[in-house]
Chains A and B, each alone.
Chain A
């Protein structure tokens, strides 16, 4: 990659050529359905995350579901539903998961030892809390960040650019 060699611009054939990232933009059916589906899938993902401790679900699955929802949104609307770069979720997720492990260690218990208990309120009845949920939240953030980072990186590739080895 010497500085002398300037990248050759793709030959544009008028405006018919799709730009990277606008795969199916302005497809009205997709756009309409995605709006509803996005909200539903997101809700379901959060539900999965929440109930993961006692029923099928958990941070990994919820993260994958969220990734699907966000990719759908991106494909339908051409822009990310998030205001931030998803890559930023990764360090925060790792930090959160690590901290939930570190806190019990600093309190003199084994690393990552989780704790749980019950709260009873008039409104919700008996309610179980578990620190494992925080760990799961970290997993969720990492999975969302990683999945979206992958997908967005691929979406942003200009399909006309090929790398060595392709033919």
Chain B
């Protein structure tokens, strides 16, 4: 579909028609007037919101403390999930994995539940948890939409109700099933949920049109809305001499569309793949893939404050404390402490109101956690031509070995590599061997030595990791012959000054570092650089990956 706003309106309509089949919508957009317009349309059928730090109690229901204490008899309240319907998850990119998995399980278990995830992902490494991306049928990216492209929109609830009633009459033929499965496979989508969700979308669209059979436009639309963003491979476009049929133009007011007589069996697969291709403007797939990798690499980490304060913090039993102390009062623990004494205390306080809980200062319990930060070891690897390529291979091997050990100690490993004119974060902090191996395998070598650039990216990575509650350590592997300055110019003198400045910045941030001289002869510049960085320097004799890994382990005091 060419008009992106029409696509948005159709997606919302389909979700309203068959929330049980489509399970929900992954809406990627920064907050703004365009998203507000979409949200306004949603209010009609998805008025309830939940946020990523919602408590289990609010979500799943539990003891209603206030009512229980007030009346002296037990009161429970239902959770948001218990009521079913479509929920809107705000700031979905901050949804911690635990909540994501539980929502995913609820989606699997309750057919009356749907979820709209508002994903405001702004930077790499954020993103909606994979467990949810996988289950939510529809995907929309509003960031590319300008205000001028949009229009006022309200869901026609009457027509939607009629379409809902027709839903069960829509027949899904064996051909349609075969075809959607084939297209999903051709797009490199492994999950079997994807084709099922696609058929649900096609069926919802057919019901919306008032048809009882799927036609080409139902399928093409479903592929564009459900399959396109899951694609991991888009088959090449057909050669020019056989131009593909023009993509179908599903109208956004489909109730008026005359029933199409095309049978589903006549649709060439190419056409559906084209629909997927058309739904993915250049770059979007790459962006989604990057997000996918970043999310996976991030593993169990979540964004923001939770990670800072108690990411791997082991909750210790709440202990006695005063109301004025800095800690948070653990209400439940406090009540637990007080509860067994209520009968006794009541005897000594006959004036107490019925049902009143008699608290003593000694009942107060305050939460605390044992803070324990994850370590992340950031390898900063010189992949330039001056540093022998063999060394790069050794560094890769060492990283894999460190990672294999690290997963036992729950450390993270990251890799910054620099060569040519640029430095890149080649591997975001990860504990996943699978991801690391994949990223390392494709790492190239050769070119100039932008040492300062490498240090800059390393510093950024370290600060970012620290911001997420991890304790970073740098391991710089280089021969120290930097010849590219920060601005990208091939100026050896400027390159040296820039490198020293960054080394000082690293030292000032108190980031522990280790410099491994991979050169064949000792390099005085590198010695001075490590001094500026406050780093320990090791000269590395010719060694294999295992020896390097052992050296590193010893140096970091493992």
**Do A and B belong to a common assembly?**
no
Q: Hey, which bits of chain B sit against chain A, CB under 8 A?
A: none
